[in-house]
Chains A and B, each alone.
Chain A
Amino acid sequence: MNLFQIFSDIEKIDGDAPERLAYYSRRNWLKMGKRVSAAVAAPAVVAATINDAYAQSSGVVAALNFALTLEYLEDEYYRTAIGTSGLIPASDLAVIGQISKHEIAHVALLKGALGAAAVAKPAFKFGTVFSSYQTFLTAAQAFEDTGVRAYKGQAGALLGTDQLTVALQIHSVEARHAAEVRRLRGLRGWITDGDTGAVYAGEEITAQAGVDLVSLTGKSAVRARESFDEPLTKEQVLAIAAPYLA
């Protein structure tokens, strides 16, 4: 399975489904009187919101399918771990179970929203990561921090849309997951010194929008880098995910 192929396939999806889904989407949307508190909205309504993507641009669809692919990976990863006897200590099951619950929900949400345009679930291979709990946690951290950075990298494609709100609401949940997994490993919840490699490429910067944060605030470079999470491009994310694709 080649992720690049998936994204190229998405580009070929034609216009029928978009119009059909947009019709239902508008109906649902009107029914809600445009007053949706997304935090408590039913999945169908949120899905309807995302369906407006079809009326907008293939860029939005591509961004959501990219997100769905990452959620497929995370979902299978945690469900497999929970199903692996003796892997997760009882003390940590509540945390891993809560994360898994969210990844299942994210897959259902994105898949339902994309409808016929949703990419198929790829086959994954996780190799030896389930051989020990610490190895499992290390990869979990990498997936979560990559997920945070990946959603951030797609935000621009969703500028000004309701789909952006949904993506941001998933993005911050991934950040909560990342922080908690890091804490299970005895680390800080935020990306910091010692976090290196492809997952953390570009996280070392200490200036934002041309403002040098260290000279501005007198705080350390470590605090400055921790204060802002950086985005990853789609290509960077796919390179990180490639070893896990069967």
Chain B
Amino acid sequence: MLTQQNEKPGTDTLLSPEHPSMILGRRLFLRYAGYTAAAGTLLVTACGKTDLATGVSPQAVDLGTGDIGILNYAYALEQLEAAFYTQVIATPYSGMSADEMTILTEIRDHEIIHRDFFKAAIGSAAIMGLTPNFGAINFNDRTSVLTTARTFEDLGVSAYNGAGKLIKDVNYLLLAGKIVSVEARHAATIRDLLSAKTAAFAGDDVVAPTTGLDGALMPSAVLAAAQPFVQNRITANLG
């Protein structure tokens, strides 16, 4: 386990079908399809929506089962976040302050590190590079970008919180724990950018006021929320 990939991860990442990592993705997909078929759990379903620009339908992706499935689940979410912040920094919204640029760049780098770490850690069982679908986001608009960031960060926190008890290997649990608190720090920071020095950083909309508990969502709910932002159809059987 934890063999490092040979290829250097792409610096970044709105992956077009021509992008080398997409070609790599097809290769990996074939390998992965073979693997899952052998394991008797092939769950490839109908492809996701067709990319109108290229006419190419991104391949469906199955995350798998067990702890590897959970790691791929985390890898998928980190891919989504990394691609999002990469675009945010590549095309800054109008009026982005220097402070916001620094913060969002640092968050981008954290997410890229998370993404690449999972890819390396999962090794040959890692899912392919996903193709994002950010069509609903106006990257020129501060509110659109920051509210989407808030959605992704809160969703990430809920996803890790909910998946924790599904993890069998205590080392994987600790790794997830090391990452989820950083996602929560991101969430609070983004929320503070949207509404400075208010209760919003841990608002009653996300932390239940009577229990003081953050969100926890099962993978099925998280994937349903994330699917609109990914062109590949994602399936999983994670419990």
Contacts and interface: CB of A to CB of B under 8 A. Distances in A.
Contacts of B4: 211, 216
Interface stretch (B19-27, B132-140, B168-176, B224-232): B168-176
A101 interface: yes
Contacts of A164: 164-165, 173
Nearest to B11: A218
Given A219-B113, A226-B110, A172 B121 contact: no
A121 interface: no
Given A165-B216, A172-B180, A213-B113, A231 B174 contact: yes
Given A38-B216, A97-B199, A168 B117 contact: no
A209 B209 CA distance: 36
A54 interface: no
B105 to A, nearest CB: 9
Contacts of B62: none
A114 interface: no
Contacts of A117: none
Interface in A20-41: 37-41
A160 to B, nearest CB: 6
Interface in B100-130: 103, 106, 109-110, 112-114, 116-117, 120-121
Contacts of A220: 109
A169 B160 CA distance: 10
A208 B188 contact: no
Contacts, number: 224
A129 to B, nearest CB: 21
A176 interface: yes
B121 A209 contact: yes
B168 A95 contact: no
B154 to A, nearest CB: 10
Contact of B181 (A40, A148, A183, A216): A148
Contact of B189 (A104, A179, A209, A227): A179
B146 interface: no
A42 B207 CA distance: 13
Interface in A152-196: 152, 155-156, 159-162, 164-166, 168-180, 183-184, 188-190
A231 B177 CA distance: 9
Given A155-B164, A173-B202, A175-B184, A39 B158 contact: yes
B188 A162 contact: no
Interface in B170-199: 170-171, 173-175, 177-189, 192, 197-199
B77 interface: no
A161 B213 CA distance: 17
**Residue from A37, A39, A156 having most chain B Cβ neighbours under 10 A:** A39
Given A103-B212, A105-B209, A160 B168 contact: yes
B177 A176 contact: no
A109 B197 contact: no
B9 interface: yes
Interface on chain B toward A: helix, strand, loop, or mixed SS?
helix
A151 B161 CA distance: 13
Interface residues of B, number: 61
A99 B214 CA distance: 13
Interface string B197-223: 111011100011111111111000000
B164 to A, nearest CB: 5
A204 interface: no
A102 B112 CA distance: 31
Contact of A155 (B109, B173, B211): B173
A152 B181 contact: yes
Nearest to B179: A228
Contact of A39 (B114, B180, B182, B216): B216
B162 interface: yes
A156 B211 CA distance: 23
Interface of A: 37-43, 46, 91-92, 94-95, 97-99, 101-106, 109, 148, 151-152, 155-156, 159-162, 164-166, 168-180, 183-184, 188-190, 208-211, 213, 216-220, 223-224, 226-231
Given A43-B210, A231-B174, 10 more contacts: A95-B198, A101-B209, A103-B212, A173-B213, A173-B214, A175-B184, A188-B103, A226-B182, A227-B109, A227-B110
- List the 4 closest A-B pairs by CB distance, nearest first: A105-B212, A175-B184, A102-B212, A175-B181
10 contacts: A46-B211, A155-B164, A175-B184, A180-B201, A183-B192, A184-B197, A209-B171, A218-B8, A224-B113, A228-B178
